[in-house]
């Protein structure tokens, strides 16, 4: 039975990943900077899967010390860590650089890039010691070099994160530790919906048109991602949900072309 640590797993994709790993029989360590939400999810998971298979540790990934504590908690609960998912991430408000609140810049970069670097270092040092393990970093908008007004800072952290993973795959070649990425595509999380809500009407209609075709729910995306992660034995692997083939299929799917996934959110 594998042990999996997921950062940022009190909600959204991180929580979806954690639940799927639990369903597949893995031990899971939940973590989030939002301690109350995390404990709520921890209690729910314990009720279904039993206390022996779930642990929780509050963790702000911009703090190296808290990430080390997370590793310690996982190791003392389950003996070792087989899979470490650097999932925690935050987005800036979608404003062009000249309108962006300056204080959002360091917040986004320290979570999405510095936090991923710290998480990668903590996990790989522990995994080299234990002689095995896999690390996954989460791709997002920007990882594929797409640009969009208002997403410059977020996109830069996600592009840098993909490079980091590729470079780390080169560093880890020949060791028993592997690293790769998962790319969940466009997922209907609170964040995405809030973001659409805040858009100007014209921009909102454009975004809705694209998301109605391409977006999926957490429940649709995470089972596949988790299956692929549990199957993977390759260093440097990218596990991509919304690949070219799926995008093309969605664009020609009658059901998706007429879909409205936003009305349920009052949009």
Binder among 11, 159, 208, 237 for other proteins (CB under 8 A): 159
Binder among 50, 79, 96, 176 for other proteins (CB under 8 A): 96
By CB under 8 A, residue 88 contacts other proteins: no
**Which among 33-41, 154-162, 194-202, 207-215 is the span making contact with other proteins, rule CB under 8 A?**
154-162
**73 or 120: CB nearest other proteins:** 120
**Cα atoms in the 13 Å half-sphere on the side-chain side of 121:** 13
DSSP annotation of 218 reads: H
By CB under 8 A, residue 148 contacts other proteins: yes
Looking at the annotation, which residues are catalytic? Answer: 154
Residue 13, both tokens = 């994709």
By CB under 8 A, residue 161 contacts other proteins: yes
**CB 204 to other proteins: min, Å:** 18
By CB under 8 A, residue 230 contacts other proteins: no
- Read out DSSP for 51-70? GGGEEEEE--TT-HHHHHHH
HEC letters along 110-163? HHHHHHHHHHHHHHHHHHHHHCCEEEEEECCCCCCCCCCCCCHHHHHHHHHHHH
**CB 167 to other proteins: min, Å:** 4
CB neighbourhood size of 266 (10 A): 7
Residue 66, both tokens = 């808290």
Give the closest residue to 243 by CA, choosing from 196, 155, 182. 182
**53 or 159: CB nearest other proteins:** 159
Binder among 25, 50, 79, 106 for other proteins (CB under 8 A): 106
By CB under 8 A, residue 128 contacts other proteins: yes
**169 or 218: CB nearest other proteins:** 169
Compute CA distances 255 → 72, 135, 157, 242, 250, whole Å.
Answer: 47, 36, 34, 17, 9
CB neighbourhood size of 89 (10 A): 25
Residue 195 and residue 93: Cα distance in Å, rounded? 8
**Which among 44-52, 156-164, 220-228, 246-254 is the span making contact with other proteins, rule CB under 8 A?**
156-164
Name residues contacting other proteins, limited to 48-87 (CB under 8 A): 64
Binding site for other proteins (CB under 8 A): 64, 96-98, 100, 102, 105-106, 109-110, 113-114, 117-118, 120-121, 124-125, 128, 142, 145, 147-153, 155-157, 159-164, 166-168, 170-171, 173
């Amino acid at each position: 039975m594998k042990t999996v640590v997921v950062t940022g797993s009190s909600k959204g994709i991180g929580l979806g990943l954690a639940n799927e790993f639990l369903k597949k029989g893995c031990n899971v360590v939940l973590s989030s900077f939002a301690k109350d939400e995390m404990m709520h999810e921890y209690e729910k998971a314990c009720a279904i899967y039993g206390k022996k298979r779930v642990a929780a540790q509050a963790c702000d990934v911009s703090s190296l010390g808290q990430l080390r504590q997370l590793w310690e908690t996982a190791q003392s609960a389950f003996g070792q860590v087989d899979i470490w998912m650097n999932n925690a991430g935050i987005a800036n408000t979608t404003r062009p650089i000249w309108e962006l609140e300056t204080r959002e810049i360091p917040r986004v970069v320290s979570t999405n890039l510095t936090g991923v670097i710290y998480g990668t270092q903590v996990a790989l040092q522990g995994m080299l010691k234990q002689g095995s393990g896999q690390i996954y970093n989460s791709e997002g908008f920007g990882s594929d070099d797409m640009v969009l007004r208002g997403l410059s800072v977020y996109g830069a952290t996600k592009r840098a994160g993909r490079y980091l993973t590729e470079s780390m795959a080169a560093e880890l070649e020949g060791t028993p530790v592997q690293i790769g990425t998962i790319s969940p595509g466009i997922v209907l999380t609170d964040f995405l919906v809030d973001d659409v809500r805040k858009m100007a009407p014209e921009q909102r209609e454009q975004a809705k048109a694209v998301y109605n075709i391409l977006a999926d729910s957490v429940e649709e995306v995470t089972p596949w991602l988790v299956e692929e992660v549990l199957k993977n034995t390759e260093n440097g692997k990218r596990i991509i949900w919304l690949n070219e083939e799926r995008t093309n299929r969605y664009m020609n799917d009658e059901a998706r072309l007429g879909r409205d996934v936003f009305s349920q959110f009052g949009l």
